[in-house]
Chains A and B, each alone.
Chain A
Amino acid sequence: MMQLSNVPKLLHDKVSHNGQYKAMSFNCDGALNSLAVNKDRTQVVVAGRSVFKILNIKEDCFIENTNLRVGRHINLTYGAADVAWHPSDESMLASAATNGCVVIWNLSKGAKAKQAMVYQEHKRSVNRVAFHNSEHNQLLSASQDGVVMIHDVRMQIPCIKFGVLGSDSVRDAQFCPPSMGYFLFAAAYDNGGVQTWDMRRPDRCEKQFMAHNGPVFSLDWHPAEKTSWLATAGRDKMIKVWDMARTDRMALPQCLYSITNISSVARVKWRPNRKHHISSCSLLVDHCVNVWDLGRPYIPFASFEGHGDVATCIEWREDCHTFLSCGRDGYIIQHIFNDAKRPADHANLAGLDLSIKGEISYAFFDRKDHSYSSLGKSKKLPKSRQFTQAISSLWVFEQNAEAKLAPADEDADETDMTMMQTFKEFAQEYKLDGLSLVELCKHNAEVADFYHKPQISQIWRMLATVYASSICPQSGSGHINRIGSLGITNSQLDKQDHKDLVVKSALKRTREKDKKKTAQELKKKEATSGSNEESSDVEGESSEVEKSIRGSNTETNFLFGDGGEDDTELYTTEGIFNPEDYDWTRQNLPSEGFQPRHELKAMIGTHPTTMESEMALTSMLESFMPPEANDQSCEPTLVIKQIHEPEFMDFSPSVANVIKNLAEQGDVQNSVSMLIVLGDLIRAHIDEVYQESWFFAYIDLLGRFELWTVANLVIKQSKLMVVSSLNQESTVIHTMCFRCSRACDRVAWLCDKCKRGVNICSVCHHPVRGLMAWCQGCCHGGHIDHIQEWLTFSNQCPAGCGHLCEFL
Chain B
Amino acid sequence: MSFEDDPTGTYVGSFPKGFGYGPEETEIEGATNPGEEKPRILLMGLRRSGKSSIQKVVFHKVSPNETLFLESTNKIVKDDISNSSFVQFQIWDIPGQIDFFDAAFDSEDIFGGCGALIFVIDAQDDYMEALSRLQMVVTRAHKINENIKFEVFIHKVDGLSDDNKIETQRDILQRATDELADAGMDNIRLSFHLTSIYDHSIFEAFSKVVQKLIPQLAILENLLDIVISNSKIEKAFLFDVVSKIYIATDSSPVDMQCYELCCDMIDVVIDMSCIYGARDDGAFDNESAAFIKLNSSTVLFLREVNRHLALLCILREDGCENRGIIEYNFKCFRSAIQEVFVARNKQANKSTGHPQMDHLVNGQIDGTLDSGISSQSNGMLGAAGGHSFLNGSVRRADDDDDDD
**A contact set with B: CB distance below 8 Å:** 49-50, 75-76, 79, 81, 98-100, 120, 123-125, 127, 144-145, 164, 166-168, 171, 190-193, 204, 208-210, 212-215, 217, 235-236, 252, 264, 266, 283-284
CA distance in complex: A59, B130 (Å): 63
| B185 CB, min distance to chain A CBs, angstroms | 12
Complex contacts, B383 vs chain A, CB 8 Å: 100, 120, 123
Assuming the contacts A50-B229, A193-B173, asked whether A235 and B253 have C-beta atoms less than 8 A apart, the reply is: yes
State which of B149, B162, B217 has its C-beta within 8 Å of the C-beta of A213. B162
| A745 CB, min distance to chain B CBs, angstroms | 72
CA distance in complex: A168, B205 (Å): 11
Complex interface residues of chain B between 186 and 226 (CB less than 8 A to chain A): 186, 189, 191-194, 208, 212, 217-218, 221-222, 225-226
B165 interface residue, CB < 8 Å from A?
yes
CA distance in complex: A209, B387 (Å): 35
B295 interface residue, CB < 8 Å from A?
no
- Chosen A-B contacts, 28 in total, with CB atoms closer than 8 Å, are A75-B388, A76-B387, A76-B391, A98-B222, A120-B383, A120-B384, A123-B379, A123-B383, A124-B217, A124-B222, A127-B251, A144-B221, A144-B251, A164-B189, A166-B149, A167-B191, A168-B191, A191-B192, A191-B193, A192-B166, A192-B194, A208-B173, A214-B194, A217-B253, A235-B253, A252-B170, A252-B174, A283-B253
Contact between chains at B194 and A213 (CB < 8 Å): yes
| B183 CB, min distance to chain A CBs, angstroms | 15
| A435 CB, min distance to chain B CBs, angstroms | 56
Complex contacts, A214 vs chain B, CB 8 Å: 194, 256
Contact between chains at B225 and A209 (CB < 8 Å): no
CA distance in complex: A166, B218 (Å): 10
Contact between chains at B191 and A210 (CB < 8 Å): no
B177 interface residue, CB < 8 Å from A?
yes
Chain B interface category by residue count: 35 or more
Complex contacts, A75 vs chain B, CB 8 Å: 387-388, 391, 395
B255 interface residue, CB < 8 Å from A?
yes
| A170 CB, min distance to chain B CBs, angstroms | 12
Contact between chains at A125 and B225 (CB < 8 Å): yes
B67 interface residue, CB < 8 Å from A?
no
CA distance in complex: A99, B222 (Å): 6
CA distance in complex: A50, B255 (Å): 23
State which of A98, A99, A204, A235 has its C-beta within 8 Å of the C-beta of B255. A235
The CB with the most chain A CB atoms within 10 A, among B193, B222, B395, is that of B222
A79, closest chain B residue (CB): B229
What are the interface flags for B129-169 relative to A under an 8 Å C-beta threshold, 1 for contact and 0 otherwise?
00000000000000000000100000000000010011001
Contact between chains at B166 and A212 (CB < 8 Å): yes
Assuming the contacts A75-B388, A76-B387, A213-B165, asked whether A171 and B253 have C-beta atoms less than 8 A apart, the reply is: yes
Contact between chains at A76 and B222 (CB < 8 Å): yes
Assuming the contacts A49-B229, A75-B388, A76-B226, asked whether A284 and B212 have C-beta atoms less than 8 A apart, the reply is: no
**B contact set with A: CB distance below 8 Å:** 149, 162, 165-166, 169-170, 173-174, 177, 186, 189, 191-194, 208, 212, 217-218, 221-222, 225-226, 228-229, 250-251, 253-258, 379, 383-384, 387-388, 391, 395
A165, closest chain B residue (CB): B379
| A529 CB, min distance to chain B CBs, angstroms | 57
Complex contacts, A123 vs chain B, CB 8 Å: 218, 379, 383
Complex contacts, A217 vs chain B, CB 8 Å: 253
CA distance in complex: A192, B204 (Å): 14
| A34 CB, min distance to chain B CBs, angstroms | 12
CA distance in complex: A98, B177 (Å): 32
State which of A210, A215, A252, A266 has its C-beta within 8 Å of the C-beta of B169. A210
Give the number of A-B contacts (CB < 8 Å): 99
Contact between chains at B229 and A284 (CB < 8 Å): no
Which A-B residue pairs are the 8 nearest by beta carbons? A125-B251, A49-B229, A210-B170, A98-B225, A75-B391, A124-B218, A210-B169, A123-B218
CA distance in complex: A750, B403 (Å): 129
CA distance in complex: A238, B75 (Å): 43
CA distance in complex: A98, B221 (Å): 9
Assuming the contacts A123-B218, A123-B379, A213-B166, asked whether A99 and B253 have C-beta atoms less than 8 A apart, the reply is: no
Complex contacts, B174 vs chain A, CB 8 Å: 252
Contact between chains at B225 and A215 (CB < 8 Å): no
Contact between chains at A209 and B170 (CB < 8 Å): yes
Complex contacts, B221 vs chain A, CB 8 Å: 124-125, 144
Assuming the contacts A120-B384, A204-B186, asked whether A99 and B225 have C-beta atoms less than 8 A apart, the reply is: yes
Assuming the contacts A76-B222, A283-B255, asked whether A210 and B166 have C-beta atoms less than 8 A apart, the reply is: yes
Complex contacts, B255 vs chain A, CB 8 Å: 235, 264, 283-284
| A310 CB, min distance to chain B CBs, angstroms | 10
Beyond A166-B212, A264-B253, 7 additional pairs, beta carbon < 8 A: A75-B395, A98-B229, A124-B251, A144-B251, A204-B186, A210-B192, A235-B255
CA distance in complex: A298, B146 (Å): 47
| B193 CB, min distance to chain A CBs, angstroms | 7
B174, closest chain A residue (CB): A252
Complex contacts, B254 vs chain A, CB 8 Å: 215
Contact between chains at A125 and B169 (CB < 8 Å): no
| A217 CB, min distance to chain B CBs, angstroms | 6
| A201 CB, min distance to chain B CBs, angstroms | 13
Complex contacts, B225 vs chain A, CB 8 Å: 49, 76, 98-99, 125
CA distance in complex: A284, B257 (Å): 10
| B256 CB, min distance to chain A CBs, angstroms | 7
CA distance in complex: A210, B165 (Å): 11
Contact between chains at A192 and B169 (CB < 8 Å): yes
CA distance in complex: A98, B225 (Å): 7
Complex contacts, A120 vs chain B, CB 8 Å: 383-384
The CB with the most chain B CB atoms within 10 A, among A123, A145, A210, is that of A210
CA distance in complex: A75, B222 (Å): 12
CA distance in complex: A498, B191 (Å): 92
A123, closest chain B residue (CB): B218
B165, closest chain A residue (CB): A213
Complex contacts, B250 vs chain A, CB 8 Å: 98
Complex contacts, A210 vs chain B, CB 8 Å: 166, 169-170, 173, 192
Complex contacts, B226 vs chain A, CB 8 Å: 76
Complex contacts, B395 vs chain A, CB 8 Å: 75
Complex contacts, A193 vs chain B, CB 8 Å: 173, 192
B228, closest chain A residue (CB): A49
A163, closest chain B residue (CB): B189
B171, closest chain A residue (CB): A210
A169, closest chain B residue (CB): B251
Complex contacts, A50 vs chain B, CB 8 Å: 229
State which of A79, A100, A192, A215 has its C-beta within 8 Å of the C-beta of B253. A215
A121, closest chain B residue (CB): B383
Complex contacts, A125 vs chain B, CB 8 Å: 221-222, 225, 251
CA distance in complex: A144, B384 (Å): 17
Complex contacts, B149 vs chain A, CB 8 Å: 166
Complex contacts, A191 vs chain B, CB 8 Å: 191-193
CA distance in complex: A144, B258 (Å): 20
A48, closest chain B residue (CB): B229
| B213 CB, min distance to chain A CBs, angstroms | 10
B296, closest chain A residue (CB): A285
CA distance in complex: A333, B118 (Å): 47
CA distance in complex: A467, B256 (Å): 64
Contact between chains at B218 and A100 (CB < 8 Å): yes
Complex contacts, B170 vs chain A, CB 8 Å: 209-210, 252
CA distance in complex: A99, B186 (Å): 31
| B299 CB, min distance to chain A CBs, angstroms | 15
| B214 CB, min distance to chain A CBs, angstroms | 10
| A108 CB, min distance to chain B CBs, angstroms | 26
| A256 CB, min distance to chain B CBs, angstroms | 15
CA distance in complex: A171, B251 (Å): 10
| A191 CB, min distance to chain B CBs, angstroms | 6
CA distance in complex: A124, B252 (Å): 12
| A15 CB, min distance to chain B CBs, angstroms | 34
B316, closest chain A residue (CB): A309
A171, closest chain B residue (CB): B253
Contact between chains at A236 and B162 (CB < 8 Å): yes
Complex contacts, A166 vs chain B, CB 8 Å: 149, 212
Contact between chains at A208 and B177 (CB < 8 Å): yes
